[in-house]
Amino acid sequence: AQRVTQPEKLLSVFKGAPVELKCNYSYSGSPELFWYVQYSRQRLQLLLRHISRESIKGFTADLNKGETSFHLKKPFAQEEDSAMYYCALTGGGNKLTFGTGTQLKVEL
Amino acid sequence: DADVTQTPRNRITKTGKRIMLECSQTKGHDRMYWYRQDPGLGLRLIYYSFDVKDINKGEISDGYSVSRQAQAKFSLSLESAIPNQTALYFCATSDPGEETQYFGPGTRLLVL
């Protein structure tokens, strides 16, 4: 069975501080990992996927197969980063398993 | 992304009523999904369909049914609504071979 764990329900940081949203997964094969973001009153949208190795809005995430982690990082938080972030996993076949989400609050 | 739309956006109903939530997409994707979102539980998959003739149960299908009327339309029905089905419901689409899913704006359902 596949599982995604996001241990923090809420993460509060000050503007300009580094951000790390944690994500750990359980999957026996080779997963594909994603971060989705939901800004206030907006629909869920893809932020980044590990296979693309991109930096989106200053965020990066590296898949660590040894630690089964896919933590989301940004060196300097901005106020507009405040949102709900979901880590998700698929083992293929388009079925996504989501974590429970982390609410990021960036304070001034 | 206005390519995936959901109706209604908000709905209040009473226990025992049958209701239908509708999802339409103009992305031309074969695959469609229904999720519910609950605080502290994240998104959970209710049903999914990989083409018009394909319907599959997800993680939490009890109390729900779906209909894939066309490639572009995927409806979710609550046969007899109960209060613990109060949630935010999302439809999503994807293309075979591309794992990214595209979400609708959500339907907020309150069952009294």
Q: Is the pLDDT of residue B68 over 60?
A: yes
Residue B39: band (very low, low, confident or very high) from pLDDT cuts 50, 70, 90: confident
Residue B96: band (very low, low, confident or very high) from pLDDT cuts 50, 70, 90: confident
> Which amino acid appears at position B28 of this protein?
G
Q: Which residues of A touch B90 (CB under 8 A)?
A: 43-44
Q: Contact at 8 Å (CB) between B32 and B92?
A: yes
Residue A93 has a pLDDT of 67
Q: Do A43 and B104 touch (CB under 8 A)?
A: yes
Phi, psi at B97, each rounded to 5°: 85, -15
Q: Contact at 8 Å (CB) between A49 and B100?
A: yes
pLDDT tens per residue, range A17-33: 999 999 999 988 888 89
Closest CA to A21 of A39, A3, A31, A36: A36
Q: Which of A40-44, A68-72, B107-111 has the lowest mean pLDDT?
A: A40-44
Task: Give the Cα separation of A5 and A85 in Å (integer).
Answer: 12
Closest CA to A19 of A48, A59, A46: A59
| A94: nearest CB among B4, B43, B94 | B94
Report the pLDDT averaged over residues B69-73. 94
Q: Which residues of B touch A100 (CB under 8 A)?
A: 40-42
Phi, psi at A73, each rounded to 5°: -130, 150
Which of A10, A35, A96 is the mutation pick for testing B, counting most B CBs within 10 A? A96
| B48: nearest CB among A42, A46, A95 | A95
Report the pLDDT averaged over residues A57-83. 94
Three-point CA angle B60, B97, A32, nearest 5°: 65
Looking at the complex, report in whole angstroms how far the Cα of residue B5 sits from the nearest Cα belonging to chain A: 11
Q: Do A44 and B31 touch (CB under 8 A)?
A: no
Residue A90 has a pLDDT of 87
